[in-house]
Amino acid sequence: MGGAASVFEKFKNSYSLTAGLRMSPQEFEREVNDEIKQLEKHFDHIGQPYNNNKYSGLTRYALATTSRVGGHYLGQLLGNSGSGSPLEYLGSWEIENFYRDRSESTRRPSLNDYWDGRFHAASAQGTPFGIKLNLRNVFSLVAYDALPFGPRGWKWVYLYREDVIAQAISFTLAQVTGEWHSIERARASSVRDVDLDQVENNLITLFKARAGWDALFSLFEIKPLMISYEEIDRDVLGCLQKVRSYLGLSNAQLRLAPFEMLQKQAGPLSMKIKDRFMRERLPFLSAREPWDLSKPPPSAAPPRYSRRPPSGLLPWSVPPGPG
């Protein structure tokens, strides 16, 4: 990993200390290495210095996401409004699709070639460049020192959910049904319940991911724009305006068509699962994890969740972000 090793070690140590759910440095390194293998599957020359003089005037932003936070939906709205199209450009489908009809398809491109192509497309359209990133994407880019302009050279929009139990249930239902977007809602009609073990495992995964984003932002002294799924549900136009303002774009005459309004997938089944989870699993989670999960959160604004909450605070009520 060359010159990035010291940053990687510092990030690894920061993450293992901040996660709070006993992810060891070894587990963290395995997560990173798995993602690096995905990059190496598609690209040669990963980690070569990027020429930051190229596209230095292009506004770059990343949607920092975990599962089921509305990133796909918000990304579509941003694309429709000329704010860049933040898709999962480090996913295999997007990479393969980008090179499918290009002469370069006869050789393996470098990762810098790919960044150039993506930046050029946004620049030619006169829009910012946006990308949707999960934590493992960023782990691998930081470990390889392969993110152009470095983490501080990007604007970060951090999407999260205030109700992490509902998020874990939504994640589980998506896994069980294959229904990842609201237009696929009919697939879930035959599902009557889910395994609470799967919900619990997803809940812990989400806590770790939130802690990892916290560590990333703290390590690189980044203050992201934070938007919750619930805020998108309450005022989607306001959230879109907030992101565009953050990117330095005008909101004059910005409108949403009726079909662009959020269509929530949660329904009676989600509420039924949540009620059962709260009854059957909450006391046991309270005994195992470093929080007292049995009491409701206070009305006062709680501290950042990366610091161990005092007894009585529900961790899913605490806003994520740098401490």
Q: What is the pLDDT of residues 190-247, one digit of tens each?
A: 677 899 999 998 998 888 888 888 888 888 889 999 999 999 999 999 999 999 999 9
- In three-state secondary structure terms, 217 is helix
**Structural tokens at position 145:** 């020192």
Q: Domain spanning 2-296+304-317 has what CATH number?
A: 3.40.50.300
pLDDT tens-digit series, residues 61-111: 999 999 999 999 999 999 989 999 999 999 988 998 888 766 555 567 899
Examine the pLDDT at 54 and tell me if it is beyond 80: yes
User: How would residue 303 be classed by pLDDT, with cut points 50, 70 and 90?
Assistant: very low
Q: How far apart are CA 139 and CA 94, in angstroms?
A: 19
pLDDT value at residue 44: 87
- In three-state secondary structure terms, 41 is helix
Q: Are 115 and 192 in contact (CB under 8 A)?
A: no
Residue 311: exposure state from Cβ atoms within 10 A (0-12, 13-18, ≥19): exposed
Q: Are 12 and 26 in contact (CB under 8 A)?
A: no
Q: Are 209 and 141 in contact (CB under 8 A)?
A: no
Q: Which of 160, 153, 159, 161 is nearest to 61 (CA)?
A: 153
Edge-to-edge strand ranges of the sheet holding 60-64? 129-133, 60-64, 155-160, 225-228
Give residue for tokens 């798995």: 34
Q: How far apart are CA 28 and CA 37, in angstroms?
A: 15
Examine the pLDDT at 305 and tell me if it is beyond 90: no
Examine the pLDDT at 133 and tell me if it is beyond 80: yes
pLDDT value at residue 31: 75
CB atoms within 10 A of CB 177: 18
pLDDT value at residue 268: 85
pLDDT value at residue 28: 72
Q: How far apart are CA 121 and CA 119, in angstroms?
A: 5
The residue ranking higher by pLDDT, 281 or 257, is 281
Which amino acid is residue 290, in one-letter code? P
- In three-state secondary structure terms, 310 is coil
The residue ranking higher by pLDDT, 311 or 205, is 205
Give the CB-side neighbour count of residue 168, counting CA atoms within 13 A: 25
The residue ranking higher by pLDDT, 23 or 147, is 147
pLDDT value at residue 166: 92
Predicted model pTM:
0.82
CB atoms within 10 A of CB 20: 21
CB atoms within 10 A of CB 205: 15
Q: How far apart are CA 199 and CA 272, in angstroms?
A: 13
The lowest-confidence range among 76-90, 112-126, 136-150 is 136-150
pLDDT value at residue 62: 98
pLDDT tens-digit series, residues 9-22: 766 666 665 555 45
Q: How far apart are CA 218 and CA 23, in angstroms?
A: 18
pLDDT value at residue 17: 56
User: Percent of the chain, pLDDT > 70?
Assistant: 72
Beta pairing, strands 60-64 & 225-228: unpaired
pLDDT value at residue 150: 93
List b or e across 38-69, with b for residues whose CB sees 16 or more CB atoms inside 10 angstroms. Answer: bbeebbeebbeebeeebbeeebbbbbbbbbbb
Q: Which residues contact 31 (CB under 8 A, 6 or more apart)?
A: 136, 139
User: How would residue 159 be classed by pLDDT, with cut points 50, 70 and 90?
Assistant: very high
Give residue for tokens 């946006």: 130
Q: What mean pLDDT value characterizes the chain?
A: 78
